[in-house]
Chains A and B, each alone.
Chain A
Amino acid sequence: MPFTATPIVGGDAFDQACRIGQEADRQLALIDDPAGHLACLRRHWDSLAGLGWLAVAMPEEAGGAGGTLSDLAALAGGAGRGGLPLPIAAACGVIPRLLADQPALLPGLAEGQHRIAFIPAEAAVDDAADVLILASDGSLTGAVVGIETPPDPTHLLLVLGGAEPALLLLPARARGIEARHYLRIDGRPAADWRFTGLAVEPAWVLGRGEVVARRAAEARDLGALLTCVEAVSAAGALLEQTIDYLLNRVQFGVPLASHQALRHRVAEMYVEYENLRGLVLQALRMAAADDGMPWRDIAFAKLRLGEAGRFIAQSAIQCHGGMGMTEALPAIRLARRIMMAEFEFGDRTFHAQRLLDAGRSAA
């Protein structure tokens, strides 16, 4: 029996998420135009909201399921394995966590009518002059790029960093906000946002000060952890599919799987996969043992995801030969997803920098 990956957190939620992911991936592969693609994603968004995914981590008193990190990990893992191109880590984990103290918003969030794009304080900008600034008169200026979004976002949840941290919830169609929507290479919806003197109403400011910065950092770490779970799970599926391809693809009269060079490459992928799985398990264990986020364990896992994930994705493409350069196979769509996961919630140097800085200040 060839290799089958074991879920980090298995169960019904994992299976369901995986099934929906595979279904979405299959349907999307048959759709050519971006509008059709978005419509399909929207259908799946509405159905997973209907299934209660967005309320999994919300407190019970707010109508949520009061789930644990483990419940979130089951969803993220299943979505990763199925290749679901929707922002599960942000929608189910990061955003509910940041809005936990906003009871008025939670029902709409849980039911999926509030489709919120999360803009972290570390969001990328094209130009240094674009860094977001909330002026003392309450106007917001600047531009951020490459922001992952749900389909048809209704709101933006924005963390402002710097000396005066703030958490803002903006209606996506307010005057002074311009959006450019597109699909990323992993098929997920994304947008660039420009703010030109947007008049921020006082009710849009959900919080200010150090507490915002701290909670936003924790939420980002939760996002990084769920992204790792998702990517490990995708990597397990990618390994299976690569092995399957090598077993069935015949050249020169023999299956590719008979060649030691390819077998060893797959063995190396597996070692990287296992090592990453170990780190993610450890981070999940630490997170379950404590209320706060174990940032150090998460940073190590995310750092390794950069290294190991890239290696696994590139090796899978190489093992598929010319087919690895096409968009035809689910395996290669998983590979692109794993590559993208590196750039979400802090890339490898971001997390390396945190760890090195902490080491220096301890020395």
Chain B
Amino acid sequence: MSAAIDYEAFRTDVRAFAETRCPPEIRAVVATYRKLSRKVWYPWQRILFEHGWGAPGWPKQYGGTGWDLKQRHIFDEVMAECDCPPQYHHGLRHIGPVILEYGSEEQKQRFLPGILSGEEWWCQGYSEPGAGSDLASLRTAARREGDEYVVEGQKTWTSHAHEADWMYTLVRTSKEAKNQQGISLLLIPLNAPGISIRPIRTIDGWHHVNEVFLDNVRVPVANRVGEEGGGWTYGKFLLERERLGGANVAPALRQLERTRELLARELGGERHRLKRAMLEERLLLAEAELRGAQALGQEAIAAVMEGRPLGLLPSVLKLGTSVTFQHVAEVALDAVGERLAPRFRPTDAAGPNAEAPGIEWVQNYMYSRVRTIYGGSSEVQKNVIAKQLFGS
């Protein structure tokens, strides 16, 4: 019963845990916007797992916490406020719930424990060079040969492929069926013969995403989740579950707070008087927007818990918060830009300026541009909103 839960006491517990048990070196990575790799994520997941908090969103019988949506939201908020890595892994948040819902008993036994403990790391094989926003037009093909599929094609924008063990992959198993119906979901080990992975160089200089080439990769049929041809449904299930991502404004508020500290540090003295005043005002406007989004996020969570429809809230939150996040990143760039933008390195390679103090603000700004592109671009969100508002 949610009425019996003392949410403020819960928040206090989570905070105490985060502050005492999350190693300072891990929190330092988050606080300075360094790249969150498996090396950083795994030890923290391990600590959470050993405490019984390995999977906030899963049912108790599979190692989940049994928390309600509001508790999970509080947990995510506190993680951000305490500079802990967001517990957002592809295994835990994406494929895990799909296996729980649609996977066979064998698949549950085989895959869920590794996801929960963090021993096995996952990536998502969805997008392709010809299938970005229009995912249903994907072409990577799997043809059946006895107990195996033979997979041929290319995936792109694959986050974590270079450090993952497994890729959950949407493939086309039928060319006859309508676009959405010929798609199946396969679990493919990344050490399988025929797989090659190439990094994509992104403007922020980090290595997050890759191209994954599948050249006659043989995958047991037992690694298919659910029915052949049902992949689109499972993929959508997964995206639906993450629709409320925008409701957690805490990471943006934390970044805003850090940026405010940066202004105080960076822009003392008469020389920067106007700049400081202007940037402080921009931050204040961003804070107002984030507080508005925070209130809407609470409304969205209440709606889900009371079984009311969410309407356009997920799109409004995604669209609004992504832009505000970018505004905050821009304020920081403007605070340090003269000094640090010229020294920002274009690649991951450790150049002479790789460790220049504060360089991460420039990098974070470059990274922030993706927020209005991924997870349904701003333009796609506006189409969604307008369709609903105009009634067609």
Q: List residues of chain A with CB under 8 Å of any chain B CB.
A: 1-3, 239, 243, 246-247, 257, 260, 263-264, 266-268, 270-271, 274-279, 281-282, 297, 300-301, 303-304, 307, 352, 355-356, 359, 363
Chain A: minimal CB distance from B331 (Å): 14
Known: A263-B386, A279-B288, A279-B291. 7 other contacts (CB 8 A): A239-B389, A263-B390, A268-B382, A281-B299, A282-B294, A307-B285, A352-B284
Would you call B382 and A356 a contact (CB within 8 A)? no
A267 to B381: give the CA distance in the assembly, Å: 9
Question: In the bound complex, what is the Cα–Cα distance between A186 and B385 (angstroms)?
Answer: 30
Q: Is the CB of B292 within 8 A of A276?
A: yes
CB pair A3 B264 closer than 8 Å: no
Residues of B within 8 A of A274 (CB): 292, 296, 312-313, 316, 320
In the bound complex, do residue A263 and residue B382 qualify as a contact, i.e. CB atoms below 8 Å apart? Answer: yes
Tell yes or no: B145 within 8 A of A by CB. no
A246–B291 CA distance with the chains assembled, in angstroms: 31
Contact call A300/B386, Cβ cutoff below 8 A: no
Taking each of A239, A267, A355, which has the highest tally of chain B beta carbons within 10 Å of its own beta carbon? A267
Number of interface residues of B (CB under 8 A): 31
* Residue in A266, A278, A307 with the greatest tally of chain B CB atoms within 10 Å: A278
A275 and B390 in contact, given A300-B288, A352-B281, A355-B284 (Cβ under 8 angstroms): no
**What is the chain A residue whose CB lies nearest that of B313?**
A274
For A273, the closest partner residue in chain B by CB is B316
Chain A residues near B295: list those with CB within 8 A. 278-279, 281-282
Task: Chain A residues near B383: list those with CB within 8 A.
Answer: 260, 263-264, 267
Q: Contact: A270 with B288, CB < 8 Å?
A: no
In angstroms, Cα B383 to Cα A304, docked, is 24
- Which residues of B298-341 are within 8 A (CB) of A? 299, 312-313, 316, 319-320
What per-residue 1/0 map shows which CB atoms of B256-289 lie under 8 Å from chain A? 0000100010000000000000001100110111
Give the shortest distance, in Å, between B26 (CB) and chain A (any CB). 28
Contact A275 B296 (CB under 8 A): yes
Contact A2 B389 (CB under 8 A): yes
| Chain B residue contacts of A1, Cβ below 8 A | 391
A2 lies within 8 A of B391 (CB)? yes
Residues of B within 8 A of A247 (CB): 390-391
Q: Interface centre among A239, A268, A274, by most B CB within 10 Å?
A: A274
A residues in contact with B186, CB < 8 Å: none
Chain B residues lying within 8 Å of A3, measured Cβ to Cβ, are 388-391
Instruction: Determine the residue in chain A with the shortest Cβ distance to B381.
Output: A267
Q: Is B293 an interface residue (CB 8 A)?
A: yes
B residues in contact (CB < 8 Å) with A: 260, 264, 280-281, 284-285, 287-289, 291-296, 299, 312-313, 316, 319-320, 379, 381-383, 385-386, 388-391
Q: Are A275 and B389 in contact (CB under 8 A)?
A: no
Of B280, B291, B379, B389, the residue contacting A266 (CB under 8 A) is: B389
B313 cross-chain contacts in A, Cβ below 8 A: 274
Q: How many residue pairs at the A-B interface have CB separations less than 8 Å?
A: 99
Residue of A266, A297, A301, A307 touching B386 (CB-CB under 8 A): A266
Minimum CB–CB distance from A1 to chain B (whole Å) comes to 5
C-alpha spacing A307/B389, complex, angstroms: 22
* Chain B residues positioned under 8 Å from A271 (CB to CB): 316, 319-320, 385
B-chain residues with CB within 8 Å of residue A263 when the two chains form the complex: 382-383, 386, 390
By a CB distance below 8 angstroms, the chain B residues around A300 are 287-288, 291-292
Residue on B with the closest CB to A247?
Answer: B390
Q: Nearest chain B CB to A176's CB is how many angstroms away? A: 42
B287: chain A residues within 8 A (beta carbon): 300
- 27 CB contacts below 8 A, A to B, read A2-B389, A3-B391, A243-B390, A246-B390, A247-B390, A257-B390, A260-B383, A260-B386, A263-B382, A263-B390, A264-B383, A267-B319, A270-B312, A270-B389, A271-B316, A275-B292, A278-B292, A278-B293, A278-B295, A279-B292, A281-B295, A282-B292, A300-B291, A300-B292, A304-B289, A307-B285, A359-B260
A295 to B61, CA, bound (A): 47
A267's partner among B289, B386, B391 (CB-CB below 8 A) is: B386
Q: Are B299 and A278 touching (Cβ within 8 A)?
A: yes
Residue with the highest number of chain B CB atoms closer than 10 Å, among A247, A275, A301, A304: A275
**In the complex, which residues of chain B have a beta carbon less than 8 angstroms from the beta carbon of A282?**
291-292, 294-295
| B281–A275 CB distance below 8 A | no
On whether the beta carbons of A303 and B296 are closer than 8 Å, the reply is: no
The distance in angstroms between the C-alpha atoms of A268 and B264, with both chains bound, is 33
Residues of A within 8 A of B291 (CB): 278-279, 282, 297, 300
Alpha-carbon distance A355/B285, docked complex (angstroms): 11
- State A281–B300 Cα separation when bound (angstroms): 13
Q: How far is the CB of A162 from chain B (nearest CB, A)?
A: 26
Contact B389 A303 (CB under 8 A): no
Which of B285, B383, B388, B390 gathers most chain A CB within 10 Å?
A: B390
Shortest Cβ-Cβ A-B pairs, 9 listed:
A278-B295, A263-B386, A275-B292, A267-B382, A278-B292, A282-B295, A267-B385, A278-B296, A279-B292
Structural contact, A304 and B288, CB atoms closer than 8 A: yes
